[in-house]
Amino acid sequence: MRKVLGIILCFVMLLMGGCSDHLQVNLIDDNYRNYYEIFVRSFYDSDGDGIGDIRGITEKLDYLKDNDFKTKKDLGIDGIWLMPIMPSPTYHKYDVTDYYSIDPQYGTMEDFEELIRKCNERGIKVIIDLVVNHTSAQHPWFLSAKKSLGIDPCGQKVCSYPELCREHNPYVKYYNFSQEQKAGYHSVDMPSGWYYEGQFWDQMPDLNLDNPEVRKEIENIGKFWIEKGVAGFRVDAVTSFYTGNTTKSVEFLKDFNERMEAYKKDVYIVGEVWSDAGTITEYYKSGADSFFNFPFADNSGKIVSVIRNRDGVGFSKSLEEWQSKIKSIDEDAIDAPFISNHDQSRSAGFLAQNLVHMKMAASLYQLMPGNTFIYYGEEIGMIGSGKDENKRLPMVWSVTNQKGITEAPPYADYTGTIEAGVAEQEKDQNSLLQFYKELIRIKNENPEIQRGKVTSLDLENPAVCAYSLEYNGSKIYVIHNLADEQADLDLSGDKYSDLKIRGELKTNGGKITLKNGRLTMPSMSTVVLKY
């Protein structure tokens, strides 16, 4: 029932220059994907109004995946996460006024349907942000409920008032109203004496998720978008469903997951649990496929930490322990590694725009098992920090040609820049963009990377991170040299015999060799070995 179809769609022969012989791009129709997170407003403007739109994404699909396996021009992306696309009064659209439409700033439902068709043609799955912890304060449900609060119960079986009283208006019970002011509650103003829960903001009233009618509404919303062709959902603010009550939040997510599986048995659900490792693992009890791996991400996460302290052995052990933990709770769990997202400072900034470190960070998290998530512009080293608007700046398609480049979100004030956009980096073989393309290509050629069981290895060099990944009887080895100097590693044992280099990533030049059981790696480099 769960998620993995395991159908090999095609094996396309591909020539890889320099580091390997003829390899295969293995396209497997399951829920493992290389995801790309898009803030539509800032991605690509197709009509010149300064705001990114859905047609802009369609126009740029060749950048993500051109479906021509004989070239190395595209990123190799096969999954897209669209940040909120539904109507909203705010620029970020995390407060929805209509769950069944496309925000007019972004286009039409026909534009969305065309995007889905084009993505399906390329084998790209699309998931959308689903915000059901709260609505906008401008949502018709909330506006109707507020109006009825001021109308005392009529006491009749059928409401006798022209406007429904608060006893008869079902939308009153869609939210958490109280005549007592509590933490996280805001005044309704009119009528006075009433308060409503809005843990994030007074313009984001929380839904009453205990109400069966609300749960049915959310089910209908999910069903609608599944019928439109989405592969699943990124579920926002999971820990806030029942603030301070993990057990009830897990129960709600489990219920939602089961309802969605009834309409699409391989629906993909990834949840946002911005918390510690212990809390995240609790949410895997819901049966949802994935949760973003926050402990490994951001400036204080394990990925950046290992680059700074060079504890390669510690990183591989942490990786094995993490996978073992989530798989012990749900054997179908799919980790969701990333390095930064729309709520965090961009990774290029906290890596001080050091090209070697940016490449190494990419190599570390992209070669973790699971579904990796690239935040748009990360692959070209975009920067941005401080207020949220600064983390969601326009995609830099070129530093000399402004075609398609959007206006910055309102109130953005970040002045940092990058020297080369997509157009410039496509011409530079040493660029971060070219590194990402090669990295994802290696992943697509070796399905063990995303799907395999991790076993950490100690190659007697603390700065070397090494682990094997085994999937369907096939095993590969991933080795990162995190040191500032060359690593000479002994792979002469029987279990390493007959290994060949199947992918290599060098951040700073040099040569990787495997000869007579000796593996030589330059500083800050990665190699993938396979029998």
Q: Where are the domains of the chain?
A: 32-133+219-449, 140-197, 453-530
Tokens of 32: 């493992």
Q: What is the DSSP letter of 336?
A: B
**Catalytic residue check, 272:** yes
Amino acid code (one letter) for 493: G
Question: Are 428 and 436 contacting, i.e. CB atoms less than 8 angstroms apart?
Answer: no
CATH class, domain 32-133+219-449, is alpha beta
- Counted residue by residue, the chain has a size of 531
Q: What is the pLDDT of residue 22?
A: 42
Helical spans, DSSP H, in 188-311: 212-227, 246-263, 277-283, 302-309
Q: What is the pLDDT of residue 305?
A: 97
Instruction: Average pLDDT across each block of 10 residues of the chain; the chain has 531 residues. List them in order.
Output: 41 37 65 98 98 99 90 94 99 98 99 99 98 98 94 85 89 96 92 92 98 99 99 98 97 99 98 98 98 98 97 98 98 98 98 98 99 99 98 98 97 94 98 98 97 97 98 97 97 91 96 96 98 92
Return the HEC string of 159-203: CCCCCCCCCCCHHHHHECEECCCCCCEEECCCCCCCEEECCCCCC
- Which entry of 78, 206, 272, 445 is annotated as an active-site residue? 272
Q: What is the pLDDT of residue 10?
A: 38
User: pTM value?
Assistant: 0.94
| CATH number listed for the domain at residues 453-530 | 2.60.40.1180
Q: Say which residues have a Cβ less than 8 Å from residue 359's Cβ, sequence separation at least 6.
A: 432, 435, 505, 507, 524
**Catalytic residue check, 289:** no
Is residue 524 exposed (0-12), middle (13-18) or buried (19+ Cβ within 10 Å)? buried
Q: What is the pLDDT of residue 159?
A: 85
Local structure of 449: helix, strand or coil: helix
- Cα 368 to chain centroid, rounded: 14
- Distance between CA 287 and CA 269 in Å, rounded? 9
Local structure of 211: helix, strand or coil: coil
Q: Say which residues have a Cβ less than 8 Å from residue 495's Cβ, sequence separation at least 6.
A: none
- Which entry of 236, 266, 320, 388 is annotated as an active-site residue? 236
Q: What is the pLDDT of residue 26?
A: 62
Q: What is the pLDDT of residue 151?
A: 87
Q: What is the pLDDT of residue 12?
A: 36
- Distance between CA 56 and CA 52 in Å, rounded? 6
